[in-house]
Structure 1
């Protein structure tokens, strides 16, 4: 049985959802309930344990699970569709996620003053430009990689909800909100939200 180390509403929520989609049994472990520094010195979730194998990066966990169990969330290897899906997976994991990490850093590192407000505005604008690219793509297809749900859609849906932590607005286009509504309504996503006690508001 897998063990997934998580923090409620964090990026581990996407892996939680994926495990449900794959129909795999797993134990969910809150990082605050264990000596997590011994598991991941960086302190970041998700971390997946599969027997003696420990995987500490979200994108690596996604690829490991999908390749091991098979899923239409990533197209067949060696195809243009797979390359496109991987491109969006990496965009979500390595571009959109860090944009929000910068906002969290500003929230923790700066006091609520003019300097913080200015930093928030700049970071929110940068994140908004990324969502504009997603919105443009979603004007062509139902999900970012086509008409079928992909893992990048789940990741993006998790990240979008983080905007509620900040006092600054991060604009989400109508196409993005449609996709967020579709993904957040999935039974697997709803089950993960309920289990973690997370209130999803980004699609409103």
Structure 2
């Protein structure tokens, strides 16, 4: 078996290969026209709702966009309109799992750790049934390349620790963020599905059967 930290035909360290791919994908994403990117976010939201919107009452954790990330708010608004409850992640410490606070799309946010907007501290902490994950890249096996901080890896590991059902992991991205192979290690989690302006792709991943990290 090929070690999880290596890809066939490569002896470059995992961290270095991820860093190089991040640089490429950041440039690719920044090159997109902002007006087109807004239209793409709407299209991705429509694709999710048409394909498999979760039932009313489902707690869906999303994000607010940072930099050139695709905007998840059209999707969160559409799911909220169908009766879902929305939450946003909150960084509580640099090396700790995140928590999720309830939020209503459009409500004011306050600055959190790292300057990322978060719901007010008075909002309740919830456990999401779905998590809409931001990403830099994804491949056809559901592997996800994030920013490199490890926040979602730590958070998903903490959610898995009690042994209960794991949230459905939906990546949200532009189609140009797809790559042939995302380098992955034993701590990386695969997506259950990814939505882009071109539609929704559902993966048969290890996370659906026991919610195990990618390998």
Higher strand fraction: Structure 1 or Structure 2? 2
Band the TM-score falls in, shorter-chain normalisation:
0.3 to 0.5
TM-score, structure 1 length as denominator? 0.34
Higher helix fraction: Structure 1 or Structure 2? 1
TM-score, structure 2 length as denominator? 0.33
